[in-house]
Structure 1
Amino acid sequence: MQELIIVAQAILKHNLNLKENENILIVTDSESSEIADVFYQAGINLGNETILMRMVTRSKSGEEPPQPVANAMKATDVALCITHHSLTHTISRKEASAAGARIATMPGVTMDMLQEGAITADYAEVEELTAYYCSLLDEGEQVTIEKENMKLTFSIKGRPGIPSTGVFREKGESGNLPSGESYVAPLEDSANGTIMVDGSIAGIGVVREPVTLTVQNGRLTDADGEVGKRLLELLGDGNGRVIAEFGIGTNKKARLTGNVLEDEKVFGTVHIAFGSNKPFGGTNEAGVHIDCVIKDPIVKIDDKIIIGG
């Protein structure tokens, strides 16, 4: 345990730029409380005021935390959301960032992930790769993802690329930890085509059999097989089925494990998500956000190949 506490102290100091006299808030749930306790002890050992709030486990990623938690997030200097389901794309996280909190969301983080894989990355390299792909997203207008004779296209015109490096130095900065991705909110009605998901799906895990997704005018209309059926159930029948995100993994140490926190950061993968994207520049609110990871695709921006090929 002491070794993990030392790792957590290093994360607080180096990834979250924790300063003397800053307050730390740790938001957790019953399924993630063991790791939350590690960071709680790390904060205390560093001499910072550290507060631990445990809520009922959310039912899916993107579901809002209770109001007292949301209020506390806005009032702290540094927040870690160590939860089973992700709070990254919630209004509460967005409002807390706007209030100046530096926030690391760590949905589904495991003890193993504190010692191996993405957390051990060269974060200078992650920052460089992430900035590069964000520049391509900023400059581009049309994205095409190709795999196994399937093709999905969508527009990102006017939508900025967003870096998630796992390093949060300034007020209001936030993202996943461990991290390493460049992502963007596509125009919500612009996606059309089919794509094979053969990596993993948030809330479901590693995909043993590829799932074919069909998207029409930005809306997921079909997902085949039993896993596809589960995905549709998680997203519901409403705004949850609207395309929300396109992301590019930029962490060369990340592994495909079935935990989307690490899976979507794997270098050489991309992911698309459905559901809420208003917290990062889109217009859709859905109360759910589910990522789908695709291995080894060919990706084009404005007909120029940027991945694969």
Structure 2
Amino acid sequence: MEQIDSVQNQEIVRGANIIAQNWLHLKMRQKVLIVSSEIHLAEVQILKNACMEYSLQVDLMVVEERGKKVGVFFDKNERIFDDYDVIIGATDYSLVTTRAVRRAISEGKKYLSLPLSTNDGRSMLGYSFLQMDTKKSKLMANVIKKYVDSATFLHVTTKRGTDISFRKKGRNAGFFNGDVRDGKGFSSASIELYVPIEEDQTEGVVYLDGSLGYIGAVRKPFRIEIQNGKIVFIEQTEDGKRLREYLESFEDERMYTAGEFGIGLNSYAKCIGNCYIEDESAYGTYHIGFGRNLALGGAYEASGHFDLVMLEPDIYTDNRKIMERGRVIVPEPQLY
């Protein structure tokens, strides 16, 4: 990221304090590890300082590999987090689907997925979407989760022409709201409800009009077709070509398979392509995750995971509509 000015420094300090105090609930005896890269050293040092207010040992691990292949190291070194109680994955790309993180979670450690990749030169720790009330997002998630869990199929349509269905038989939804207590030790900065859908059962057409995940905003909506869970057609617009090139760069056919369905729950977030974590968190959006979904409760292995974000969906759980043009229409929770 670019040099931090005084205003952004204050914003990052605020975000770091939210993470350390409201999300991680650190204790003095817990050993904390922050995993990041050289490009993020300035901002993760602020995060480290915030964590040291609550924990006596906070270590920083700087990884050499950047970009979407950063997870390869953590697949090969499955036990690397064994000496720590709390791990923060603050690299460019998410580490949440790697074997090392999967082991850490299974061992009862706290893990927060905090990928810092942005497209506007600002630190993600300074984004205002981190201020979303964790209690409100949890209540929203639980209301939707009740309908999702009782359904076999999820169906999405939009005004643009999206018409796609997902099957999730035997699989329940989870949610992230930042707070590791609500996630039983595991959470993400992406405030969302997620479903590890059946990997070979997605069928239909989507018009991508929100975000291409890590590679930024969609400039002009384009068509994608999915059959038997796998992308079989990408319209060759400028953005469609960007997506195809990105997929091909993985050199892994498994990255074309849909393994997650998600609904954004963060009313502070906007889907404008500056930060993929903010994009997929934004209330009024849904996303489809492709590639590995093991850490989300699925059964699919791949070399990575990425999300495509779309706007203003009508969402049905079996035959019941729960969202209309991006607005929840089942009874919404009241905080007070």
Q: Indicate whether the TM-score tops 0.5.
A: yes
The correspondence for 1:243, drawn from 230, 255, 258, is 258
- The AA in structure 2 aligned to 1:244 is G
* One-letter amino acid of the structure 2 residue matched with residue 294 of structure 1: M
SS of corresponding position for 1:13: helix
Cα deviations by residue, 1:275-298 (Å, 9 ceiling, x for unpaired): 001222211111111100001111
Cα drift, residue 87 of structure 1: 0.9
2:193, 2:70 → 1: CA distance? 19
Using the alignment, how far apart are the partners of 1:10 and 1:176 within structure 2? Answer: 13
Residues 195 and 170 of structure 1: is their aligned pair in 2 closer, same or farther, counting only changes over 3 Å? closer
- What is the 5 A alignment of 1:166-181? 166-169=178-181, 173-177=185-189, 179-181=190-192
Query: Hey, what does 1:24 align to over in structure 2?
Result: 32
Change (3 A) 1:271 1:234: farther
Q: Does the aligned pair in 2 maintain the 1:13–1:19 contact within 8 Å?
A: no
* Partner of residue 285 from structure 1, selected from 301, 321, 327: 301
Distance 1:7 1:214, change over 3 A: closer
Q: Where in structure 2 are the equivalents of 1:61-72 lying within 5 Å?
A: 63-66=71-74, 70-72=78-80
- Of 294, 303, 307, which aligns to 2:319? 303
Secondary structure of residue in 1 paired with 2:27: coil
Deviation at 1:236, TM superposition (A): 3.8
Cα distance, 1:61 vs structure 2: 6.8
Question: What is aligned with 2:4?
Answer: none
**Which SS does the other structure have where 2:175 is aligned?**
strand
User: TM-score, normalised on structure 2?
Assistant: 0.84
The 8 Å contact of residues 223 and 231 in structure 1, kept in 2 or not, is answered as: no
Percent same amino acid at aligned positions?
27
SS of the residue corresponding to residue 61 of structure 2 reads strand
> Is residue 114 of structure 1 aligned with residue 129 of structure 2?
no
Matched, 1:154 2:166: yes
Judged with a 3 Å threshold, the aligned counterparts in structure 2 of structure 1 residues 57 and 288 are, in CA distance, closer, same or farther, namely same
What's the offset of the Cα at 1:28? 0.6
Residues 1:170 and 1:146: Cα distance change in structure 2 (over 3 Å)? closer
The CA deviation at 1:217 is: 0.5
* SS in structure 2 of the partner of residue 134 of structure 1: helix
* Aligned partner of 1:33 among 41, 53, 62: 41
Does the 8 Å CA contact 1:82/1:108 hold for their aligned counterparts? yes
Q: Is the 8 A contact 1:60 1:234 kept in 2?
A: no
Cα distance, 1:209–1:52 mapped onto 2, change above 3 Å: same
Aligned pair 1:141/2:169, yes or no?
A: no
Distance 1:67 1:76 in 2: 17
Deviation (angstroms), 1:249: 0.5
Identify the residue that residue 139 of structure 2 maps to in structure 1: 128
Q: How many Å apart are 1:5 and its aligned residue?
A: 3.6
Match of 2:268 in 1: 253
Q: Which amino acid aligns with 1:278?
A: L
The answer as to whether partners of 1:85 and 1:107 remain within 8 angstroms in 2 is: yes
Aligned-partner SS, 1:193? strand
2:107 pairs with 1:96: no
The alignment of Structure 1 onto Structure 2 pairs a total of residues equal to: 308
Structure 1: gaps spanning 5 or more residues: none
1:112, CA displacement in angstroms?
4.8
Matched residue, 1:210? 221
State the superposition RMSD in angstroms: 2.3
TM-score (norm 1): 0.91
Measured in 2, the distance between the counterparts of 1:243 and 1:181 equals 17
Name the CA distance, whole Å, in 1 between partners of 2:77 and 2:60. Answer: 10
User: What is the one-letter code of the residue matched to 1:143?
Assistant: L
